[in-house]
Amino acid sequence: METPAAVPDHLFVCVDHVGLAVPDLDEAIRFHTEVLGWRVLHRETNEEQGVEEAMLGTGAQGAENAQIQLLAPLRPESAIGKFLDRSGPGLQQLAYRVTDIDAVCTVLRERGVRLLYDEPRRGTAGSRINFVHPKDAKGVLLELVEQGAGH
Ligand code: V0V
């Protein structure tokens, strides 16, 4: 008989970030920094995910706040390209931070939830990520994020 996976005390640590699909990253950064007052904490291109992205934070001392992730498509057939085509700009994903993404994926699979990838893939700043299909999460694309070593 297989040993059941250990169930972590809590699956999720906190909301890590909220992802917004945008057609033009620089234009979206301008709005979020100049009008809303957020600060760009990190920017990178993720070829595998087909995105150019920026992570924004408040910059306030001691603030432990979820970040805002701006996601622009590198190509029309990418996840963000298809999302923009179907729904237009807006909220694309909700990302939960986890401490052990492998354990959390195992537990969720045991509970009948579909994950998009067999193994976690590379996310922002060396993080490891996977996604719960929106059809299994009440219409919301849920991302699971285990932070990279540099965090
Ligand atoms: C699709 N649907 C969504 C959705 N995308 N519902 C809520 N939120 C979304 N973002 C709905 C869609 O309207 C359909 O509903 C249904 O799901 C099935 O759609 P589908 O034909 O499978 O749609 P696709 O081909 O657009 O694919 C959807 C998935 C795709 C979720 C499978 O977007 C994907 O692989 N996402 C994971 C990767 C990703 O999002 N990468 C970009 C961020 P009806 O019409 O059937 O009712 S990269 C990132 O976050 C990074 C790097 C990071 O954080 O570090």
- For residue 2, tell me if it sits in a domain: no
The answer to whether the beta carbons of residues 20 and 70 sit under 8 Å apart is: yes
- The CATH number that applies at residue 101 is 3.10.180.10
- For residue 77, tell me if it sits in a domain: yes
- For residue 53, tell me if it sits in a domain: yes
- For residue 63, tell me if it sits in a domain: yes
Measure 84 CA to ligand 1 centroid, in angstroms: 11
| 3-state SS, residue 52 | strand
- For residue 123, tell me if it sits in a domain: yes
Take atom 35 of ligand 1 and give the residue whose Cα is closest.
79
Q: Which residue range is the domain that position 86 belongs to?
A: 9-146
Give the pTM.
0.94
Burial of 102 (0-12, 13-18, 19+ CB in 10 A): middle
Regions of the chain where pLDDT drops below 50: none
Radius of gyration of the chain (CA): 16
Take atom 10 of ligand 1 and give the residue whose Cα is closest.
92
- Within 8 A by CB and 6+ apart from 142, the residues are 93, 94, 95, 96, 131, 132, 134
Given this model, what pLDDT does residue 95 score?
A: 98
Measure 141 CA to ligand 1 centroid, in angstroms: 6
- Cα-Cα-Cα-Cα torsion 39, 36, 89, 134, nearest 10 degrees, comes to 70
Measure 83 CA to ligand 1 centroid, in angstroms: 7
Given this model, what pLDDT does residue 3 score?
A: 57
- For residue 1, tell me if it sits in a domain: no
Pocket of ligand 1 from Cβ distances under 6 Å: 19, 46, 49, 51, 69, 71, 79-80, 82-83, 86, 92-93, 95, 116, 123-124, 127, 129, 131, 133-135, 139, 141, 143
Burial of 82 (0-12, 13-18, 19+ CB in 10 A): middle
Q: What is the domain count for the chain?
A: 1
- For residue 3, tell me if it sits in a domain: no
Given this model, what pLDDT does residue 63 score?
A: 72
Asked whether the CA dihedral 111, 112, 117, 119 is positive or negative, the reply is positive
